[in-house]
Amino acid sequence: MKQGHLAIVVFFLMTACKQPVETPAEQIPQIQEIGLPVSGNSHLGRLKATEEALYFSWVQSSDKVDTLFYSSFKEGKWQEPIYVAHSTDWFVNWADFPAIAANGDKVLSNVLAKSDTGTYTYDIRLNLLDKDAISKLDFILHTDGTKSEHGFVSLLPWKEGFFATWLDGRNTAGGHGGHDGHSTAGAMTLRGAFIGPEGHIIGDTELDARICDCCQTAAALFPDGLLVAYRDRTEEEIRDISVVKYTTEEGWSSPMAVSGDNWEIAGCPVNGPSLSSLDKQVALAWFTAAAGEGKVNLKISKDGAETFGPAIRLDGGFATGRVDVEWLDSNRLAVLWMEPLEEMDGLVLKILNTEGEVLEHHIMATIDASRASGFPQLERLGTDLYISWTDVGAEGIGAKIRMKRLAITP
């Protein structure tokens, strides 16, 4: 991380801010903590809901061995954890984590496997399971063969298979100088591809030729296509949020700048956007510090991301970010993020309507603001919201993923 960026982050974490006065989650009857099928040092949890189940993946680390598992929450209980893969040679990072998606009986996940000795030389390896049994194991998503960075994956179900989008460093020629200072080699790119039901890669396409090097991607489905959001990067080092759209009739659109922050920063903020869609309604939430103070903003589109409404600021001041967003119904949505709360961060959840009016405001947990706490997750299954995060130093084992469930009021 560049020194300027490090100073900004330290400033965010140490500066005093407004103190939330809302009722803590443990005092609200409709919020319950949910036990998880994890053990040992667990982290990098990811959630993905279907109509029938909530899928949860995580990495368990012990004695330099990292193991990827997933489980599904069906009819009020977790199913037996499914082992996917393990290794001593994965790139395991607080911000660049495995993704998961489910489509019928098929589950697709990824890991980041080192391809060379460089810190940021790793490949995206996919694992496809069918009815919880391996269908295709450890196959590569991209075909460039360069010893460079590939990561920050988002996965979605698509037709009988899946869609993936990712950050691709093939044009950097391995020249990524690390997340502390970016190389003067070629730019990081955004790519997307479809994955058939048997694991074959289809239509690998460059979506943007120059983007921010280490912010997460996000993707959401439409009735006639899908949308990808990411942090862009201009020649002048403006790093705002852009989107690209795919439809079955027209293919991929050109990138469209959306956030309008005009955030000029010479290093990567490592804080990507989040997307959620419901029919043609789209919610885009993101972090910015364009004016020197961390903020969490939201924009809503009602026409399938053709246009977006004005930005709505959600945080209480000096936000840390790490946002997630989820539609509850056609009139309400929930946004999750981190912001300072006394000596820790508060894991803040707001439920608001499409006009931006806040209907509920909860402090779901206190959370360590360090990198080790990773990126909290938010997913809806039926009439419940599920919130997961990493509890750093839990029970003396290093880290443990925790989860709470919030019953959605009518």
Closest CA to 145 of 127, 121, 111: 121
| Residue-averaged pLDDT of the chain | 91
Residue that is written with structure tokens 């539609």 in the block: 327
pLDDT of residue 320: 98
Please report which residue ranges of 173-322 form alpha helices under DSSP H.
none
Q: Which pLDDT score, from 0 to 100, does residue 279 have?
A: 96
Contact 22, 350 (CB under 8 A): no
* Sign of CA pseudo-dihedral 344, 100, 111, 216: negative
pLDDT-based confidence at 11, cuts 50/70/90?
Answer: very low
Q: Which two tokens mark 208?
A: 């943007």
Q: What is the DSSP secondary structure assignment for residue 238, as one 8-state letter?
A: B
Give the chain's end-to-end CA distance (angstroms, integer).
45
Question: In angstroms, rounded to a whole number, what is the distance separating the alpha carbons of residues 38 and 20?
Answer: 31
CA distances from 346 to 64, 181, 241, 246, 354 (A): 31, 29, 25, 36, 24
The predicted-structure confidence for 319-333, as pLDDT tens digits, reads as follows 999 999 999 999 999
pLDDT value at position 37? 97
What confidence category does residue 29 fall into, taking pLDDT thresholds of 50, 70 and 90?
low
Residues 103-138 have pLDDT tens digits of 999 999 999 999 999 999 999 999 999 999 999 999
Q: How confident is the model at residue 393 (pLDDT cuts 50, 70, 90)?
A: confident
Comparing CA positions, the residue from 363, 387, 385 lying closest to residue 24 is 363
- Average pLDDT estimate for 373-378: 97
DSSP state of 223: T
Q: What is the mean pLDDT of residues 73-102?
A: 96
Confidence of residue 295 (pLDDT cuts 50, 70, 90): very high
Q: Flag whether pLDDT at 183 surpasses 60.
A: no
Neighbours of 307 (CB within 10 A): 11
- What's the pLDDT score for residue 20? 37
- Other CB atoms within 10 Å distance of the CB of residue 141: 20
The conformation of residue 255, written as its DSSP 8-state character, comes to: P
pLDDT, tens digit, 9 for 90 and up, residues 184-233: 569 999 999 999 999 999 999 999 999 999 999 999 999 999 999 999 99
Q: Do residues 202 and 227 lie in contact, with contact meaning Cβ atoms separated by under 8 Å?
A: no
pTM: 0.91
Tokens, residue 206: 């460059």
pLDDT confidence band for 410 (50 / 70 / 90): confident
Query: In whole angstroms, what is the distance from residue 300 CA to residue 310 CA?
Result: 8
pLDDT on residue 15: 37
Rounded alpha-carbon distances, angstroms, from residue 305 to 210, 238, 320: 21, 22, 26
Chain-centroid distance, C-alpha 233: 19
Cα–Cα distance measured from residue 340 to residue 16, given in angstroms and rounded to the nearest whole number = 8
**313: which residues sit within 8 A by CB, 6+ positions away?**
295, 296, 297
